[in-house]
């Protein structure tokens, strides 16, 4: 490692796991290395290849270091004052309903707050949107309805304490590597059961007790089939259902149609595998009294 003169604690900018990084910075304010941060509760000293080595873009020579204004088909360097005046005067032409703003999921909460404030107060519009509407809105809507919040309901520590993990419609090893390490830790070090539901083979299949491969687009039928087994085999927590849920009987009537054999016809997943998966998921385990159902970014 080149000589570092100070260490700056920050968060990896790449994925939603939010791993802690300590950037080693030299006397010229250049990043010379990224170290893991054992004190960070999200990553507890782990980093994937992106977090550990993907910081060279910060000082890359291709990065713009000054605003550019296009004149006569050519960009010329400009001062910040000149560029901001130009942008402000152009934006004014669109003030009101003809203006809209789209926020990035990579922005911080604070950035998002400032952006909506700016759109409403300065640009006088409510046309504010977020990329989540495209990639995440079905799951947000479902979570709001069922859990009351569109945010995740488990901590990373819960993964390691779970008796059973069900990884459905996602590939954590590729998309959220450090979170997947904590799942593997639950399986390898603590004996948790792992069910992967994915038409595609993912790395987590190497650790799975069961890999269900439904036909694409049949995931709702598959989940109904699992629920059918849980209901018919009496594996549900009746006390929880009676105290914490509503509309249960209507839902149970829908699920009653999805016998393992009928679900097999719809999804291609063998009826016996469905039964086994439902039992792994719903039966209390010796490790944890409640298993954890985990689906992160079902569309990723």
Q: Which residues bind ligand SF4 (CB under 6 A)?
A: 12, 14-15, 17-19, 43, 47-48, 50-51, 176-178
CB of 121 to ligand SF4, least distance (A): 33
CB of 44 to ligand SF4, least distance (A): 11
CB of 14 to ligand SF4, least distance (A): 3
- As separate numbers, helices (DSSP H) first and strands (DSSP E) second, the chain gives 13, 11
- Contact residues for 234 (Cβ-Cβ < 8 A; gap 6+): none
Contact 300, 171 (CB under 8 A): yes
Of 222, 242, 233, nearest to 298 (Cα)?
222
Contact 147, 140 (CB under 8 A): no
CB of 173 to ligand SF4, least distance (A): 10
C-beta of 156 vs 211, nearer to ligand SF4: 156
What is the Cα–Cα distance from 243 to 195, expressed in whole angstroms?
28
C-beta of 1 vs 121, nearer to ligand SF4: 1
Query: What secondary structure letter does DSSP report for 205?
Result: G
C-beta of 50 vs 120, nearer to ligand SF4: 50
CB of 247 to ligand SF4, least distance (A): 37
CB of 191 to ligand SF4, least distance (A): 24
How deeply is 107 buried, as exposed, middle or buried, from its count of CB atoms within 10 A (0-12, 13-18, 19+)?
middle
Element (H, E) at 10: strand 6-11
Element (H, E) at 275: helix 271-282
What is the Cα–Cα distance from 235 to 272, expressed in whole angstroms?
16
C-beta of 171 vs 219, nearer to ligand SF4: 171
CB of 94 to ligand SF4, least distance (A): 36
Element (H, E) at 77: strand 74-77
What is the Cα–Cα distance from 136 to 142, expressed in whole angstroms?
10
First to last CA, the chain: 35
Of 111, 104, 163, nearest to 286 (Cα)?
163
C-beta of 51 vs 214, nearer to ligand SF4: 51
C-beta of 17 vs 195, nearer to ligand SF4: 17
What is the Cα–Cα distance from 242 to 106, expressed in whole angstroms?
40
C-beta of 19 vs 280, nearer to ligand SF4: 19
C-beta of 14 vs 251, nearer to ligand SF4: 14
CB of 219 to ligand SF4, least distance (A): 25
């Amino acid at each position: 490692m080149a000589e570092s003169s100070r260490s700056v604690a920050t968060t990896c900018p790449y994925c939603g796991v939010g791993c802690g990084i300590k950037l080693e910075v030299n006397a010229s304010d250049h990043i010379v290395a990224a170290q893991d941060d054992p004190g960070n509760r999200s990553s507890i000293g782990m980093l994937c290849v992106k977090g550990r080595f993907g910081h060279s873009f910060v000082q890359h020579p291709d990065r713009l270091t000054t605003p550019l204004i296009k004149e006569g088909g050519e960009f010329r360097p400009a001062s910040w004052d000149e560029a901001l005046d130009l942008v402000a005067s152009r934006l004014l032409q669109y003030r009101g309903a003809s203006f809209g703003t789209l926020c990035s999921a990579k922005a911080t909460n604070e950035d998002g707050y400032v952006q909506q404030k700016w759109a409403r107060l300065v640009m006088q519009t409510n046309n504010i949107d977020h990329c989540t509407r495209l990639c995440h809105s079905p799951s947000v809507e479902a979570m709001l309805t069922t859990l009351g919040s569109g945010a995740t309901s488990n901590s990373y520590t819960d993964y390691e304490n779970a008796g059973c993990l069900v990884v459905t419609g996602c590939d954590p090893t590729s998309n959220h590597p450090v979170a997947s390490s904590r799942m593997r830790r639950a399986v390898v070090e603590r004996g948790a059961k792992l069910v992967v539901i994915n038409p595609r083979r993912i790395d987590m299949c190497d650790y799975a007790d069961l890999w269900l491969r439904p036909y694409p687009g049949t995931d709702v039928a598959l989940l109904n089939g699992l629920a059918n087994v849980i209901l018919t085999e009496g594996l549900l927590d009746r006390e929880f259902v009676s105290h914490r849920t509503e509309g249960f009987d209507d839902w149970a009537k829908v699920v009653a149609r999805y016998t393992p054999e009928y679900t097999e016809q719809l999804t291609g997943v063998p009826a016996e595998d469905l039964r086994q998966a439902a039992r792994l998921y719903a039966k209390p385990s010796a490790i944890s009294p409640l298993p954890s159902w985990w689906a992160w970014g079902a569309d990723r």
